[in-house]
Amino acid sequence: MEDPCLGLRLNMDSQKLPRKALAVTAVLLIVLAVGIAFVYSPTVPTAAHDERIVRYTLTVKEVKLTQGDKSWDAWTYNGQVPGPILTGRVGDVLEITLVNKGTKVHSLHTHLTSYGFENDGSQANVIMNKGAGSMVPPGKQFTFRYNLTEPGIFYYHCHSADGAHIAMHIRMGLYGAILVKDLGAPNLREEVIFYGEGQPEAPAFFVINNRGIPGGEKTLEAIFKDKGLPGVVAQLNVSVTAFTFRVGETVRLHIINIGDFVHSHHGHGHSIRSTALGGRPWPANVLPLVPGQADSLEITFTEPGLWLFHCHVVSHADAGMIGVFLVA
């Protein structure tokens, strides 16, 4: 039979479950998925609007992350990976105070386009002795200031090389998104998806929003055969990044490659309209992502189901780089 909410086809003969049990399973799937999406939503710090000044505080913390029976060290902004999504409007001034409670020098370098040199958050500030405090020693803090002059998706990351190269500071977890809104744009739900590489001790090296399931879809299928749909649901936003949407809903997904490898974004069963292409879809429904690249996609979900999205460097997906759109 076919579940009316998720459109997942269940074979009555092979499952050998009564009709009522199947209905209960489908309802549990929806409830658990929605609940998990809520529990694992990233924490967003409070922004203070004052005369078009938007203020955030980001605190560098060294934490232990866990997935199942594995744990590993991470460097974080505000205790989470990716860091908080910072939002503002065109015309705002964005002020970010970076507080370093870690044991290494850390910084905040953004990919915004309008700011004074002292806010660069790079080794150049130390070399030029202007804004040298933006490379923040342990126990210190620095306030960065940026003019938000154009809408779009941007991001921030640590640019320090203290104790490890810059790439490792990012891989350890020090990155996050900046969303600059145009007040004239349609008011859509917006989500951010980071493709990249994770911490060396984590279960998966290739990750989406710092989550990865070794074996990719093959592992999910094995979990389903062993534990059924509840077993798959238990992985959502634990080892598999997941979002819950509705049929007919149009959303804006901001996709960023924060890693050092070439990645791509492919979503099953829907067209991805690109702001970089002026609203046209990407050919073959694949967004190419060189390191550092970002794009914003508008997607309308037309069919219910448990839809996969993943890196189409397929070996990366096999290594863990998969996610799920649960469309109900």
Contacts of 123 (CB under 8 A, 6+ apart): 135, 159, 161
Question: Is 6 part of any domain?
Answer: no
pLDDT at 21: 44
Check whether residue 125 and residue 244 sit in a common domain. no
Residues 206 and 252 both lie in one domain: yes
3 occurs within a structural domain: no
Q: How far apart are CA 328 and CA 64, in angstroms?
A: 34
Rounded Cα distance between 7 and 99, Å, is 47
Its domain, for residue 174, covers 48-185
Q: Does a structural domain hold residue 105?
A: yes
Q: What is the pLDDT of residue 51?
A: 61
- Measured CA to CA, the distance from residue 62 to residue 45 in angstroms comes to 18
pLDDT at 46: 55
pLDDT at 186: 80
Cβ(13)–Cβ(52) below 8 Å = no
For 290, the 3-state DSSP assignment is: coil
Angstrom distance (rounded) from CA 201 to CA 152: 34
The answer to the question of residue 149 being in a domain is: yes
Q: Does residue 138 lie within any of the structural domains?
A: yes
Same domain? For 63 and 151 the reply is yes
- Within a domain: 2: no
Tell me the C-alpha distance between 282 and 135, whole Å.
39
Together in a domain, 74 and 180: yes
Give per-residue pLDDT as tens, 261-305: 999 999 999 999 998 899 999 999 999 999 999 999 999 999 999
Same domain, 117 and 24: no
Domain boundary among 167, 185, 203: 185
Reply yes or no: is the peptide bond before residue 304 cis, omega within 30 of 0: no
| Number of separate domains in the chain | 2
200 within a domain of the structure (yes/no): yes
**Is the same domain home to 198 and 279?**
yes
Residue 232: phi, psi to the nearest 5?
A: -70, -45
Residues 67 and 93 both lie in one domain: yes
Characterize 23-45 residue by residue with b for buried, 16 or more Cβ atoms within 10 angstroms of its Cβ, and e for exposed. Answer: eebbeebbebbeebbeeeebeeb
CB distance 108 to 98 below 8 Å: yes
Short-list 249, 252, 155, 231, CA closest to 195: 155
End residue of a domain, out of 161, 185, 209: 185
Going by C-alpha positions, the residue among 126, 117, 172, 167 that lies closest to residue 144 is 117
Cβ(90)–Cβ(181) below 8 Å:
yes
pLDDT given for residue 17 in this prediction: 42
Distance CA 171, CA 76 (A): 10
**CATH number for 104:** 2.60.40.420
Q: Are residues 206 and 308 in the same domain?
A: yes
Do 78 and 121 sit in the same domain of this protein?
Answer: yes
Do residues 205 and 319 both lie within one domain? Answer: yes
pLDDT of amino acid 185: 80
Q: What pLDDT score was predicted for residue 15?
A: 41
- Is 176 within 8 Å of 82 (Cβ atoms)? yes
Other Cβ atoms less than 10 A from the Cβ of 20: the count is: 8
Length of the chain: 328
**Domain ends where: 156, 185, 214?**
185
Q: Are strands 93-100 and 152-157 parallel, antiparallel or unpaired?
A: unpaired
Q: Is position 7 within any domain?
A: no
Low-confidence spans in the chain with pLDDT less than 70? 1-51
Residues 76 and 22 grouped into a single domain: no
Please indicate, yes or no, whether residues 299 and 200 belong to a single structural domain of this protein: yes
In angstroms, the Cα distances linking 195 to 8, 87, 165, 316 are 27, 20, 20, 10
The overall average pLDDT reported for the chain is 88
